[in-house]
Chain A
């Protein structure tokens, strides 16, 4: 979609509490120019301008995390001039890059996990653990969202080249692209394309269609059969995993030396008139995207705004929000108040928990304020996938109780 006249650039975000800016009001910036630096404690993250234009002042808006933070405004001149210092790398240059160089490039271009975690990608390159297999997460397991699938359809070549970069960086041959089984067409297109390259080591890996298959430990389990215990990193088992949009971002960063300035998002939910996927420039306000979708379907009904998927996404306190790098989707639902019934111990939550917890028992323990019982039930294993609330026959918000149990269990 077209870029609005005024873009907003978040300074602080969920992972970085402090930030400094290198520009002042009235400065002209190129697209991709460094305008500031976030400080996240053990790492620093550069901030780049998503368009060329003139810097305005600061404004307060809601961030994805639900907090009100400072945003730097940029008045777009619609020329989209890239910073002259940003040049493409030739293939020979890329061939010479070592793992440390990749880490350096990704640190400078501020690559973060675009699947929604916003974890800095270069940290995955910085250690020297031996990686045997790279998993590409194209599962997108939450319902309603399909921006990643669109990306895989449209940017196949870039993703495959991005995979070869990863192969070189980790000097590891095996790359598995995990996609849900139901996308049979996409899998066959990729397989046909990969036939052109003899022995390239990139393979498609269809996985089951259930949620939370995109959770990295579930993905590793179904793709490789390795059970990663809680509290251990996949890299300890020789596994590195990346989201497909991150791979696409890595391609842009390595080949063109560009930071991520736009991303694909799904705007959907039963509250929107025309649910659609968009390529959105970072810093676009949510209201502009919403306008493009034809506004609300039922303007008089109460709404819930969700950034992220319907299962784990954060609910916004206001529609005044800015699309940032890690927004994968925006969902707008008509609010529905479902009354709770008493729990009848049907066991759905226990059978469906991907980590093997017993949410009902944890809920009882929280209601009884029984710290010992909470700790014995080990709620810290919970990944807050939300399945227990989703499946609850009595519409009890079980996940909220488990969240409270986690707070109890963390406290001494």
Chain B
């Protein structure tokens, strides 16, 4: 027995990084299982292929960053390899696995031609993990959410080849892409909403609409969200400010849409806004990624509000059908600025409240001015 001197405090909470990552995996399980049940092989392929790519990339990263320090003698490859393996810890495979499952779930089920989706999966996950995370130094150092970065990269490169497939369960919409794409195809900003009543909100909630393989199943996502919030693996401030801000902006937009467009119910529009696309999925699994968000409470609220505004604005006026992944990346870029040491603190100071108020006002104004002067062209 020896007596060891250590600095206070001497006790630690029974909690770990691995526990947090496993919680996210458990929260992802309902979505993943539903996706596998509905899409079958496509879901297994999406998750499996991205998991293999990301885990391998992280393993290679661990080997590269944990070489034997130079000590004059030459070390063989085998020796280097074993030394690197010793540094391989539980979070080195749990963290990329979480990213991979998220990435796999926000990719479509098939493509035209069929092999494109394989390329998209491999290149997208490779870009996400390497450029989105590993070049910054691995877990905890990244600026961008790896899944969002990979998804955006794959979408920009191969997006026009995606097919959001239908099958026995997913058949609420006739042909083509997702509801959002079909709606966006209509040129007029307001007129495009004339046909959203064709699909019931219940169908959207149950995921009976085409979409990426995971994001459509809102009921499963909500189960995951509740689990994450109960386990405190996700920060409720971001979730509440993001979903709340988004809902308020869409409620304002809904007032314009419901009054100007014939045959559009106000609540139908709200349900359409919440339950299509990746809003809920992004709010649950991607906006709550702690690494890429500000560290203090006011910063996190501001982060959620900024994300909500960007998502709403891209969705209403943008060139793309929806902007959750883009708004996540843009918010990731803004996070270090919110953490700047000159004004960062865990208190809601008056200046911060003013900034938040200005932020909200800008987005509310954008929505009002953007929609207010529009005329319906059907």
Q: Chain A: residues with CB nearer than 8 A to chain B? A: 66, 143, 296, 299-306, 308, 310-319, 331, 333, 335, 338-339, 341-347, 350-351, 353, 356-358, 360-361, 365, 373, 376-377, 384, 386-387, 389-395, 397, 399-400, 403
Q: A318-B3, A342-B139, A342-B140 are in contact. Are A358 and B8 (CB under 8 A)?
A: no
B111 within 8 A of A: no
Contacts of A310 in B (CB 8 A): 8-11
In angstroms, Cα B7 to Cα A384, docked, is 11
Contact of B141 among A143, A342, A361, A390 (CB under 8 A): A342
The SS class assigned to the B binding surface is loop
B346 touches A333 (CB 8 A): no
8 A-B pairs besides A310-B9, A345-B291 with CB distance below 8 A are A304-B10, A342-B139, A344-B140, A347-B235, A351-B346, A386-B8, A393-B15, A400-B7
Contacts of A319 in B (CB 8 A): 3
Contact of A389 among B12, B15, B89, B235 (CB under 8 A): B12
Q: A303-B3, A303-B4, A344-B17 are in contact. Are A358 and B11 (CB under 8 A)?
A: no
B297 within 8 A of A: yes
Contacts of B7 in A (CB 8 A): 315, 397, 399-400, 403
Stretch from B168-176, B326-334, B337-345, B364-372 forming part of the interface with A: B337-345
Contacts of A387 in B (CB 8 A): 9
Contact of B9 among A305, A344, A386 (CB under 8 A): A386
The SS class assigned to the A binding surface is loop
In angstroms, Cα B92 to Cα A339, docked, is 14
B48 within 8 A of A: no
Contacts of A299 in B (CB 8 A): 1
Contacts of B89 in A (CB 8 A): 339, 341
B13 within 8 A of A: yes
Contacts of A339 in B (CB 8 A): 89
Q: A310-B10, A344-B17, A346-B20 are in contact. Are A317 and B3 (CB under 8 A)?
A: yes
Contacts of A357 in B (CB 8 A): 346
For B339, the closest partner residue in chain A by CB is A361
In angstroms, Cα B167 to Cα A153, docked, is 72
Task: With both chains docked as a complex, state the minimum distance between the C-beta of B370 and any C-beta of chain A, in angstroms.
Answer: 35
Contacts of B347 in A (CB 8 A): 356
In angstroms, Cα B342 to Cα A358, docked, is 12
In angstroms, Cα B293 to Cα A370, docked, is 22
Contacts of A356 in B (CB 8 A): 345-347
Q: A318-B3, A345-B140, A358-B295 are in contact. Are A313 and B10 (CB under 8 A)?
A: yes
Contacts of A306 in B (CB 8 A): 8, 10
In angstroms, Cα B23 to Cα A393, docked, is 13
A344 touches B290 (CB 8 A): yes
Contacts of A341 in B (CB 8 A): 16-18, 89, 91, 139
B5 within 8 A of A: yes
For A370, the closest partner residue in chain B by CB is B341
A347 touches B3 (CB 8 A): no
**A313, A343, A347 interface centre (most CB from chain B within 10 Å):** A347
For B21, the closest partner residue in chain A by CB is A344
**A345, A357, A358, A373 interface centre (most CB from chain B within 10 Å):** A345
A315 touches B12 (CB 8 A): no
Contacts of A342 in B (CB 8 A): 17, 91, 138-141
Contacts of B3 in A (CB 8 A): 302-305, 316-319
A338 touches B12 (CB 8 A): yes
B346 touches A358 (CB 8 A): yes
Q: A315-B8, A346-B290, A399-B9 are in contact. Are A376 and B2 (CB under 8 A)?
A: no
B6 within 8 A of A: yes
A344 touches B20 (CB 8 A): yes
In angstroms, Cα B16 to Cα A395, docked, is 7
In angstroms, Cα B341 to Cα A71, docked, is 48
B293 touches A302 (CB 8 A): no
Contacts of A311 in B (CB 8 A): 8-11
B4 touches A350 (CB 8 A): no
Sampled A-B contacts (15; CB under 8 Å): A303-B1, A311-B10, A314-B8, A339-B89, A344-B140, A344-B290, A347-B295, A347-B296, A350-B295, A358-B295, A360-B295, A373-B341, A376-B341, A389-B12, A390-B11
For A387, the closest partner residue in chain B by CB is B9
6 tightest Cβ-Cβ pairs between the two chains A and B:
A386-B9, A342-B140, A341-B17, A311-B9, A310-B11, A346-B290
Contact of A317 among B5, B19, B91 (CB under 8 A): B5
B300 within 8 A of A: yes
For B293, the closest partner residue in chain A by CB is A345
Q: A302-B3, A358-B344 are in contact. Are A333 and B12 (CB under 8 A)?
A: no
For A336, the closest partner residue in chain B by CB is B12
In angstroms, Cα B11 to Cα A335, docked, is 10
**A316, A341, A351 interface centre (most CB from chain B within 10 Å):** A341
In angstroms, Cα B3 to Cα A319, docked, is 8
Contact of A333 among B10, B140, B235, B293 (CB under 8 A): B10
Contacts of A304 in B (CB 8 A): 3-6, 10
For B235, the closest partner residue in chain A by CB is A347
Task: With both chains docked as a complex, state the minimum distance between the C-beta of B194 and any C-beta of chain A, in angstroms.
Answer: 44
Contacts of A390 in B (CB 8 A): 9, 11-13
Contacts of B6 in A (CB 8 A): 304, 315, 335
Per-position contact with A for B238-266: 1 when CB-CB < 8 Å, else 0?
Answer: 00000000000000000000000000000
For A305, the closest partner residue in chain B by CB is B3
Contact of A350 among B140, B291, B296 (CB under 8 A): B296
For A331, the closest partner residue in chain B by CB is B10
In angstroms, Cα B8 to Cα A304, docked, is 11
Name the interface residues of B1-59: CB closer than 8 Å to any CB of A: 1-13, 15-20
